Homo-oligomer: A and B are copies of this chain.
Amino acid sequence: MRGRVAVFGPGLIGGSVAMALRDLSTGRGVTLWGRDRAILDEALSLGLADRIETDPAAAVAEASLVVLCTPVGAMEPLAKAIAPSLGAECLVTDAGSVKHSVTERLAPVLGSRFVGAHPMAGSERSGLGAARADLFREAPCIVTPREDSDPEAVRRISEFWASLGCRISSMPPAEHDRLAARISHLPHALAFALVNLVLDTLPEGAQCLAGGSFRDATRVAASNPALWTGILAENRTEVAASLREMAKLLKSMASALGEEKTDSLLDFLTRAKEHRDSLASSANAPDA
């Protein structure tokens, strides 16, 4: 794929996309769109873009690809703002963590030029300062075509994310959301809940007793609250279902403990170890 890339949102994801494009030396021009001129100037000085814009329509001029890396709630208004200015061949993708609602809102505005994606890379940190050129290296990326998506557009969008280092898989947006709820949103929700449960109820000073298991389990609780409220709310049906599944499982563990069903507990923990060991032996992914 040739031509200019317009990256929307100079945060962790958008900044890392621009940084990866810079380091790939593809010769493609990069336009970076954002609301905050100071951040755009910083990106320009870092060589992440050769053009910066605060006007969405101006930002897509000459672009053959638009990559939306803003919070998911900002994507529909941006899509409406850029749609009239997109070149005939220009494709649009996004990096949002939720795909069904985003696709339902963007496809009517952008048509078959839009193919959503979810590069499962990230960090509890956010903002341009946390961006890394290798953020996407070996990261899983789920591309989420609709039934009526143009196969050629899907191929080109997949190639783009693969060129940044992602391992590509593909599934419909709703299936992505069911999976992402359990493999990404639920672990985040558990981290938020565990931190609050423990640190709201422990006596003063007891937090210094937190060891590695607590620290690891709650690392992502330091993530941006507004961003994650948006993600959980956008995927509310699947996240709520996974939270209820988890609550049910925890209550059955509590019952097994109360009834001293040690054998069934041992089976449960043995299965968990087998699962986790098989995961450890598969390819490592960066933060997500």
Contacts and interface: CB of A to CB of B under 8 A. Distances in A.
Interface of A: 120-123, 139-140, 142, 167, 169, 179, 182-184, 186-203, 205-226, 228-229, 232-233, 236, 239-251, 253-255, 257-258, 260, 262, 265-266, 268-273, 275-280, 282-288
Contact of A209 (B142, B220, B232): B142
B212 A183 contact: no
Nearest first, the 7 closest Cβ-Cβ pairs linking A and B are A211-B288, A212-B287, A225-B269, A247-B247, A240-B254, A192-B272, A243-B254
Interface of A is mostly: helix
6 contacts: A122-B211, A169-B208, A186-B198, A195-B275, A236-B257, A236-B260
Contacts of A142: 209
A190 B218 CA distance: 11
Given A217-B216, A240-B254, A249-B193, A210 B279 contact: yes
A285 B213 CA distance: 10
A257 B269 contact: no
A265 B222 contact: no
B265 A179 contact: no
Contacts of A247: 246-248, 250-251, 254
A276 B244 contact: no
Nearest to A275: B199
Contacts of A123: 212
Contacts of A241: 254
A182 B167 contact: no
A9 to B, nearest CB: 20
Contacts of A191: 213, 217, 272, 276
A150 to B, nearest CB: 25
Contact of A212 (B254, B265, B277, B288): B288
Contacts of A182: 197-198, 201-202
Nearest to A285: B211
Given A222-B277, A273-B222, A232 B214 contact: no
Given A183-B209, A198-B182, A286-B211, A193 B229 contact: no
A236 B286 CA distance: 36
A189 B253 contact: yes
A149 B176 CA distance: 58
A85 B225 CA distance: 59
Contacts of A183: 198, 202, 206, 209-211, 214
B211 A188 contact: no
